[in-house]
Chains A and B, each alone.
Chain A
Amino acid sequence: MTHHPKERWNSLNRRGFVLRSAGTVAALSGAGPLLAACGNSTNVPGTTGASGELAGPGGLPLARPDRRVTLPRWEDPIESGLKPETGGTFTVFNYPAYFYKKLLTEFGAKYDVEVQVTPFDNINSGLQRLASGAVNPDVMEITPDTLDIGVAGKLIKPLNLDYIPNLKKNVWPQLVDPFYDGESRYTVPYTVYATGIAWRTDHIKEDIAGMEQPWDIFWESQAYSGKVALLSENRETIGMALLRKGITDINTEDPKLVDQAVSDLKELYGICNIKVDDLQYQTVPEGSSWLHQAWSGDMIAGYIYYLPKGTPASALAFWKAPKDKRPIQNDCFAVCSTTKKPVLSHLFLNYLLDNGVAYENFVDFNGYQPPLNEIDPATLVQKGVVPKNLENCVLTDDDLGPDSLQYGTLTSQGQRLWEDGYSDFLAGGGS
């Protein structure tokens, strides 16, 4: 059962209480009895879908690598064979500096539009801005775990794949028809990345890859205090603590498991004065961070852009767990409901899946790998794009599949559980 936003399902009506108490307003110190009388009105009922299973936003089923979901189309896609719109501006809603400006300009020149990028801090806040009408982009980046919000909120449009032939032609088979968006009804993939550990070999003496449980290195990093960091992402951080204990359900909504993971993370305060940030692509190559939870693309970008002159590539290292024990994610692009250029938006999605465009965007700009068949580790090493010691940062289609681990959409309760757990960790107290 889903709730309509107007139902105020999360509220307690204050009207009766206040009228009966003759409108007494308590000072903050006296608010305790008043608030206690109201009870806890933040309780969230579990959201279930039509089949009775837990569901995400809008009652949409929760997709998992072994549980493929085909999302309902809330409107018909545009017709085939239409001419692209020209003139005016074309807006890409994206992380800042995530798409090569040169390629955007070339796209704009081809279709006589001025391409502009409207940045967001993260996809969740981007979706909220889109929903509020604060922005009116044509296309936006989105991730599988936020896709339900985009679809349930009718923020993104169903696709007509006739305009996107590069999807079937160039993209990994597993992502042509992904588990989170069966038939690619709403999205095309953009980049793919696995989560692992990045470190400086000239500072970290341990053989991390040879450890029985490499994630334990964070709990044994006393010697590197102040130089150790985790990703500033609640799913990745708590997920890492789960994986360290051998728990591979990284979409768990069990409060006991999440609480234990947070408790384990808090041990790191005293062990290594753990930091949290998303600057690993810069800080590890520059040497200000020696050990960092990282995404696979970070070390490639770091090697290409941030490694100081004179520092050998061998100073960087990356480890990722075997396929069934490590998170792998991809982000996507979608056509926004606010677009005034739906045909051109489709063509843009096709453009970013062009082999040449995607390769140039990857190698010459953002360092994050597009999931294209033409890009394989051996070729990149042979071309000198990626040094041999970072070959494991390059992923292949085999890294995906029903036995892979991916962060998926959670129920509302689950999202709150993880957010509150991360808040507890970030507060730095009570370790």
Chain B
Amino acid sequence: MYRRSLWPALALPGVLWLLLLFIVPFYAVLAVALGTVDPVLFQPVPIWNPLDWNVGWLSEVLSRLGPGGIWFDVGIRTIVYVVIALALCLLIGYPVAYYTARHAGRWKAVILILIILPLWISYMMRMLAWVNLLQDNGWVNQVLMFTHVLSQPRDWLGGSASTVILALVYGYIPYLILPLFAALDRIDRSHLEAARDLGASPWSAFRTVTLPLSKTGILGGAVLITLPMFGDYYTPNIVSSSPKTSLIGNQIDLYFHGGPQPTIGAALTIVLAAFLLILMLYYMRSIHRAQREAGTVGAL
């Protein structure tokens, strides 16, 4: 009896945290999105009773996001940027995590510290630092011209998609590397040795043993970085400021910034959250399946 109640009790702080810092605030956003607006002060007036919810704002947001709507392009653009940034993060981050976990030896701690070090500075300061480096006469252009990669300075800050995507990669890649490193570090070396003993080439061993066993790390890291990327508005503002590279987060920011329609911003937040929930469900299903395949007993 003691054993049966102990583990649920230990989960209580987490449940309370979830309730207070997620469920309640999320419900508040929902109540605002399905509420009304004070016609004098333009403050959102939340409606807490679901039976009285006003779905007009939600309907408006969905129509704007649909094909032909004013936000259709920015919605697609956001998905494309996040997918590309995620792919680049994996392409760059996986080898770093792999090397750190499997081959760094006594340099493991040092490499981890170097990966974490930029996070000691706020995201805003790091992006502003990049604005300086990416100026026409900044260090990036100077180095690229010195090495003859470029023959003249590139306008990195002139509103280009590549700069925004690379900034997203820079800003979020440590959050991918760390969980990936943890997953790779946990892989029992004997699995790999067994694969090699059975005649697998290094690439085969990686493909059939390491990669599947690191799936939870990949998915975990991907979730950690894509969720905030979808809501990012700051990065395109800092390194681009062009409407052609704006993300859906910029629209949320616009409507929440004291205008007469904060409910539109809240409704857009809800729609975005619903979209991300679908991705989260896929993540949870994949984790559950991976755990079952690994022989872990558990249930969602």
A contacts, CB < 8 Å to B: 2-3, 5, 8-15, 18-19, 28, 31-32, 34-36, 38-43, 47, 57-58, 121-128, 131-132, 149, 152-153, 155, 225-227, 229, 232, 269, 273-277, 287-288, 412, 415-416, 419-420, 422-430
Contacts and interface: CB of A to CB of B under 8 A. Distances in A.
A36 B245 CA distance: 32
Contacts of A423: 70-71, 251, 254-255
Given A288-B135, A419-B259, A426 B38 contact: no
A429 B159 contact: no
Given A11-B47, A275-B242, A412 B41 contact: no
B282 to A, nearest CB: 15
Contact of A5 (B38, B59, B159): B38
B52 A277 contact: no
Contacts of B242: 269, 273-276, 428
B245 A125 contact: no
Interface string B58-81: 111010000000111110010000
A269 B158 CA distance: 12
Nearest to B246: A428
A19 B260 CA distance: 32
29 contacts: A2-B40, A3-B39, A11-B47, A11-B54, A31-B62, A34-B55, A38-B55, A38-B59, A39-B56, A40-B60, A42-B60, A57-B40, A57-B42, A124-B258, A128-B43, A128-B258, A149-B40, A149-B42, A226-B155, A226-B157, A226-B159, A229-B241, A419-B260, A420-B70, A423-B70, A426-B254, A427-B70, A428-B77, A430-B73
B116 to A, nearest CB: 31
Contacts of B160: 226
B43 A132 contact: yes
B158 A225 contact: yes
Nearest to A265: B243
A122 to B, nearest CB: 5
A126 B258 contact: yes
Interface string B76-110: 01000000000000000000000000000000000
Interface string B223-259: 0000000000000010011111110001100110111
A411 to B, nearest CB: 10
Given A269-B244, A419-B261, A429-B73, A57 B52 contact: no
Contacts of B54: 8, 10-12, 14, 41
B52 A14 contact: yes
Contacts of B72: 429-430
Nearest to A427: B74
Nearest to B158: A226
Given A128-B258, A149-B40, A273-B159, A42 B57 contact: yes
Given A276-B241, A427-B251, A8 B36 contact: yes
B32 to A, nearest CB: 12
B40 A9 contact: no
A123 B71 CA distance: 26
Contacts of B157: 226, 288
A247 to B, nearest CB: 22
Residues of B in contact with A, size category:
35 or more
Given A14-B51, A149-B41, A121 B257 contact: yes
Nearest to A38: B55
Contacts of A31: 58, 62
A47 B254 contact: no
Contacts of A132: 43
Contacts of B42: 57, 124, 128, 149, 412, 415
A337 to B, nearest CB: 13
B166 interface: no
Interface string B107-141: 00000000000000000000000000001100000
Nearest to A279: B241
Given A428-B74, A429-B70, 17 more contacts: A11-B35, A14-B55, A15-B51, A15-B52, A38-B55, A41-B59, A124-B257, A125-B258, A127-B41, A131-B41, A131-B43, A149-B42, A232-B241, A275-B158, A276-B242, A422-B254, A430-B72
A32 B61 CA distance: 12
Given A124-B258, A429-B73, A288 B56 contact: no
A127 B258 contact: yes
B219 interface: no
A28 B56 contact: no
B279 interface: no
A19 B42 CA distance: 31
Interface string B257-291: 11111000000000100100000000000000000
Q: Which of B37, B42, B160 has the most CB of A within 10 A?
A: B42
B71 A429 contact: yes
A116 to B, nearest CB: 22
Nearest to A59: B40
A428 B40 contact: no
Contacts of B71: 423, 427, 429
Contacts of A35: 55, 58-59, 62
A429 B74 contact: yes
Given A35-B62, A57-B41, A428-B244, A9 B274 contact: no
B45 interface: yes
Interface in B135-159: 135-136, 155, 157-159
